[in-house]
């Protein structure tokens, strides 16, 4: 299979491994503690664990894009902000 169209750099591979790891951890969590009943957070939406994971991943993508546009290519700051954002989403949304 020719995958030369994709820039398979170490950060790209790390990104896809991270997404797969997130999905695996969420699947194991749901298997061990089933239910994950929806809860109403500060947005007024009923969200499940999977919804909160999706919101945190989507928000992290926007944080990284904004960081690239406003600050530059040093992304460790964006990673820190994204982790804090994800913790806040899982806590309060």
For 35-47, how does the pLDDT look when each residue is reduced to its tens digit (9 = 90+)?
A: 778 889 888 889 9
Among 5-19, 23-37, 67-81, name the one with the lowest average pLDDT: 5-19
Q: For 45, phi and psi rounded to 5 degrees?
A: -105, 145
Cα 25 to Cα 21: distance, rounded to the nearest angstrom: 6
Q: Give dist(CA 4, CA 8) in Å, integer.
A: 8
pLDDT at 69 over 90: yes
Exposed / middle / buried, residue 89 (Cβ in 10 Å: 0-12, 13-18, 19+): buried
- pTM (two decimals): 0.80
Q: Give the chain's radius of gyration (CA, Å).
A: 16
Summarize the confidence of residues 12-20 as an average pLDDT: 87
């Amino acid at each position: 299979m020719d995958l030369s169209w994709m820039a398979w750099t170490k950060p790209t591979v790390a990104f896809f491994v991270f997404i797969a790891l997130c999905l695996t951890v969420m699947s194991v969590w749901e298997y061990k503690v089933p239910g994950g009943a929806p809860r109403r957070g500060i947005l007024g939406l009923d969200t499940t664990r999977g919804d909160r994971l999706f919101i945190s991943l989507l928000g992290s993508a926007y944080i990284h894009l904004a960081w690239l546009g406003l600050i530059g290519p040093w992304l460790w700051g964006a990673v820190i902000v994204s982790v804090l954002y994800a913790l806040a989403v899982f806590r309060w949304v």
